[in-house]
Every structure is written in structure tokens, then in C-alpha cells.
Structure 1
């Protein structure tokens, strides 16, 4: 039995999903799309890529998509080495990663946002805490406190009392290869350094399992995954500010502070179209069917204006024969 089943994990796909905008076009198959496509990188994106790959095969049975989801930091080296043309990242490429790619090919990689996600802050279901600020997250997880927090080691330092006052905080996070690690570090730690006692986990399900079995635990995981073993907290940008719970609406409009975009990076020669297979894959993602897969996976589709912009940038109107 999978870890997800053992934990009773579910996604927001079980909730009523907003209808997609009428302007989002249907995917229309074209001839000549065959071959193997390898996608390398983000574990977070692996759920969506699996769904998109299944959809693509229904239109193009001669296509095989291979997925290697060891973390966002594995995508840039694979793109540079030529072992993939599809890099999956749950954070933007760093300046150094872009420079390394440009040094190799003479032009920068093309990063295409394909969906929105957010990092939910989870605690054990018995924890009475309901909300937390960015400064408090910095105080819990950071060794450098660039966001202005002061080290917090007990739950009483976050305002809990009685039997919680002296309980020691147990921290769970992702490894440095993860884009979630990088995104959390950028937003919640203000680019600071993690404490050495943060217990690294391989994915969201593992973090939920660890927090769910540790009454003093706290961690961060994709907002789209939930479990009765844990609860998610509302998050405020400033101490004493309005705390926002992660939802599709608060992520889409940017009110939830730990919102992020999910990216597909491609090796595209400027002013040249992508090869047919990569073009078909991105066309599917940016279609009504691909965006519906995002909803079913528990993530948030791109806002209509942004989606149509990237369809135009990628030349997808011609591919779909619109």
C-alpha cells in the first residue's frame, strides 16, 4: 500500500473546482507526433506530468513520456547535458543555473509557467495553533533570521500556553535538491540558511507522515495534499497582519504569501519552433484538457491572461489549428 493511502492523503481535486475560462482552447491532435520524451526535475510537478503524459498518449499513441523526478535542481544539469529537453522546476532557475546554460548554448533557457501551487504550513492535528507569520517561520526554520525573526525553539514562543508552553518544536522540510526547499528558503527565510536540525524528507507525503506522527512537529508541503493527521495554518506576511488560508482563490490572486509558480524549462533556439513532440506536449498543457488536469491534480491553473500570453509566445495557435 502506498504512503498516501496509509496517511489517508487526499487532494483538493475532491472539492468543487472553478470552471475554466471560455477562451481556453481545446487540444487538437496533429500528425507526425511520435517518439520518446524525457522530463527531468521537480517531484512536485511529477503528479501533473503523469496526468499530461496519459492525456498526450490518448491523442498520440506513438508517444512515450519518461519521468525522472529527483528534484528541481536536477533539471538544469540535464538540460545542459542534453539528456532532456524538458526541465521540471517548482522554482525559477537561479542566476548561476541560467548562466551555465547560456554558456553552453549561447542563448538562455526558456522558462514557461504552467500552473500555480503553494506551500502549506502543517502542524499535528492536536496543535492549537491556527495561524503563523513569515517572521515566525523564519524564527523556526532559519539559522540566519534574514526575515527579522528571533530563534524559536518552544511552542510557547509562538504564543501557545499551558502544556504547550515548554514543548520543543520539531522541524521537517525538504532536501536541497528540491524546488520546494528553494522556494521556501526564498520566501519564508528571506534567502537565509536553514537550521541544521531540520529533518529532511523526500516529498510532501513524507512530511505529512512525519508531522502527523509527531505532536510537536511542523513542516511545509504542497497545499493540495491534506490528511486528517495534520492541519494547515493560515499565514500572514507580517506579525499581527491578516493571515490567509491557502485556497485556489487566495493562490490565484496572490493573497496567500507562500504562493509559487511551477515551471517547465525547455531548450529552445531563439526564433525557431520547438520540435514537434515538445510543441505538442506544451500545447496540451496550455489547452483546456491540460488545464483540467491541473484542477484534478489539486493545483491551480494559470490565470487566463497569462495562459493566453504563453500560448502566443510559444506559437501554439498554429499547432492547434485555431
Structure 2
């Protein structure tokens, strides 16, 4: 009798645990502000097609989203992390430590980081190194590293307008910020022979030297709301805004993108890699939640569908630049098979 009562009690506890584990009846995705509008649109279409509860999509920045995603398994943590850069080795290790073991990495398309101005503002054609020279905390002047001295863009280069240096961009928690630092600031610094030698000799020292943004008001961390940056540069003469290409697409009647190395930010230039500030976008899926969170597999399937991320899909209309057909097919295969990603190298 005691054994029977014990078995019944165990079954009851397991049932309660299962109910707690599956208490959330909707998909939850959190992370990149750049991926946010794409994920929101997919959520709308998924809900219409399936009749299931609309997913919860949060814009926290890539770093914030991955941190929450890696907090653990179960209904208290997101099923998906939206990311505008690859997951870092340190983040992957944090996931593993918290019991988030099988992570599926799916690339959804491309994006470019745009340096934009108000439609009525001056035209900018930056050399990549000028982004570093004008916006980093330490910069080169006369061949020497100095605290940022430049106040106007024409001091950085005679090809640039006589306009004060003022740029609004993403905060450190943002994947856009990470990509901006890597592609724009570090990429620009590496074009200069003095800093290229430093990078070759000691990459950690190079990054620590060139990566911090200026702190005298020439660069402003403007939060995760890229639409707010668009509004700010409209109201602030000659100010620059740094954000994802999709926001330029959405606001093309109000703002314009600067050229980098003579290349305008267009879908074709970004997809080909010709535009220097091009990057890939991702979603990371918690495989342990498939079959637990209702609709998770269907949501991921919708995300990689031809209708969404394929050429001519509804996300292309929102500014997402599609993957080449072979890569897109490979991502559809991943969404079906859900293979766990290997540990990142760095």
C-alpha cells in the first residue's frame, strides 16, 4: 500500500512539474533591435496561419537577449534569441553552464549598418578609416595616438563637409554596436599603417586602444530604439545616426545613407559584401523547448519559409536582405532537423 501511495505521489509531482514547465502557451523571442521588426512580422503571420497565441517579441539588444536566453530552460526563459551577430564563445559557455545544451543557430539573412543623415543634410562619403578617426575615443593625429581632438568632419578629411561631429548610435548591449565596432571602428583603424602594425603585433592591445567610442559628446549612446535615432537626426542639423539598413529602408523619405568607400548602402551592395559595413543576422533556438512550448517549431518554420525570408518574401519588403538560394535551403533544413551548433571559436 505504501509503495502504491508513493508511486501515486511521484506521478502527481511529475505531472505538476510538467505543467509548470509547459505553463507558457506562447513562443517567446528576445534580443536584437535589428531583428525585432522581422521577428514581429513573422509572429503576426504565424499567428494568422496557425490560430495560435501571438509570440512575445522583445527588443533588448543582442547581448541582453542572449544573456536572458542563456539563463536556463523552461517557461521563465526565452525560447529564441534574436541576434545581429554570431553568439560569442563566452555566451555559449554561459548557456552550457545554465543547462542550455542544444542550441540551434539559424542565419535568416543579411543587414548593413548605415550611417545616415536627415534628407536635407549634407552628403557624406566616408573613407572607412575616417569613421575611426572621427568617432573613436583615442585617434591618430600627426602619426601619434591622442585623446580625440576633432570637432568638425572637415578636420578629419577635406573630402568631408564642414559639420560638427555628432553621431547617435547603439549602446554596448546591442549587436549593432558590436558589429559597428568590428566593421567600422576596428576595420577603419586597421587601414592606417601605424595601427595595422599594432594589430599584427598584439590584437588585444589594438582592440583596447581603438574600440572605445569618444566620450566628449561627439558620440551618443542612444538606446535600443533605432526609430528614436531616426527621429533625433531629423531634428538635429548635421547629426549622424548609426543603425541597421532596414530602418533606412523604412524611412527613406526622411533620411539618407552615407557612402562608405564610395559605396552606397543598397540591398545589392550589402548582399554581395561590397558595402563595407555588411553583416549576417541570426536566430538561436532552444531545442529543449521544441515540443514543450506550443508552436515553437511552427514559428521557426515560418521564419525560414520562402514566404518570409526567401527572395521576394515579406521580410524583404521590411529591409531584410535574403540569403543566396542555397544558403536559404540549408537554413530550412536546419529548422527541420534542429542540429545543435558547435561551440564558437571566439
Band the TM-score falls in, shorter-chain normalisation: 0.7 to 0.9
The equivalences for 1:152-231 within 5 A come to 152-160=150-158, 165=162, 167-190=163-186, 191=207, 192-196=211-215, 197=217, 198-202=219-223, 203-224=225-246, 225=248, 226-231=251-256
Once the 2 structures are TM-superposed, how far is the Cα of residue 39 of structure 1 from its aligned partner? 0.7
The equivalences for 1:62-77 within 5 A come to 62-77=52-67
Once the 2 structures are TM-superposed, how far is the Cα of residue 56 of structure 1 from its aligned partner? 0.8
* In 2: Cα distance, 1:44 partner to 1:300 partner: 12
Once the 2 structures are TM-superposed, how far is the Cα of residue 264 of structure 1 from its aligned partner? 0.5
Contact 1:43 1:70 (8 Å CA) reproduced: yes
Once the 2 structures are TM-superposed, how far is the Cα of residue 228 of structure 1 from its aligned partner? 4.3
Identify unmatched segments of 5+ residues in structure 2: 1-23, 187-206, 339-346
1:294 equivalenced with 2:288 (yes/no): no
Once the 2 structures are TM-superposed, how far is the Cα of residue 250 of structure 1 from its aligned partner? 0.9
The equivalences for 1:1-322 within 5 A come to 35-81=25-71, 82=73, 83-105=77-99, 107=101, 109-145=103-139, 151=148, 152-160=150-158, 165=162, 167-190=163-186, 191=207, 192-196=211-215, 197=217, 198-202=219-223, 203-224=225-246, 225=248, 226-236=251-261, 243-268=262-287, 277-291=295-309, 292-315=313-336
Once the 2 structures are TM-superposed, how far is the Cα of residue 213 of structure 1 from its aligned partner? 1.9
* 1:154–1:210 distance in 2 versus 1, CA, 3 Å: same
Once the 2 structures are TM-superposed, how far is the Cα of residue 263 of structure 1 from its aligned partner? 0.9
Once the 2 structures are TM-superposed, how far is the Cα of residue 161 of structure 1 from its aligned partner? 8.1
Q: Which stretch of structure 1 is more off in the superposition, 152-161 or 253-262?
A: 152-161
Taking structure 2 as the reference length, the TM-score comes to: 0.71
Counterpart in the other structure of 2:21: none
Contact 1:102 1:109 (8 Å CA) reproduced: no
Greater helix share, structure number: 2
* In 2: Cα distance, 1:53 partner to 1:124 partner: 31
Q: CA RMSD in A?
A: 2.8
Once the 2 structures are TM-superposed, how far is the Cα of residue 106 of structure 1 from its aligned partner? 7.0
* 1:228–1:159 distance in 2 versus 1, CA, 3 Å: farther
* In 2: Cα distance, 1:65 partner to 1:205 partner: 22
Once the 2 structures are TM-superposed, how far is the Cα of residue 131 of structure 1 from its aligned partner? 1.0
* In 1: Cα distance, 2:291 partner to 2:277 partner: 33
* In 2: Cα distance, 1:156 partner to 1:217 partner: 14
Once the 2 structures are TM-superposed, how far is the Cα of residue 38 of structure 1 from its aligned partner? 0.7
Taking structure 1 as the reference length, the TM-score comes to: 0.76
Identify unmatched segments of 5+ residues in structure 1: 1-33, 237-242, 318-322
* In 1: Cα distance, 2:70 partner to 2:95 partner: 6
* 1:212–1:64 distance in 2 versus 1, CA, 3 Å: closer
Once the 2 structures are TM-superposed, how far is the Cα of residue 160 of structure 1 from its aligned partner? 4.9
Q: How many residues align?
A: 273
* In 2: Cα distance, 1:223 partner to 1:80 partner: 28
* In 2: Cα distance, 1:289 partner to 1:116 partner: 16
Once the 2 structures are TM-superposed, how far is the Cα of residue 71 of structure 1 from its aligned partner? 1.4
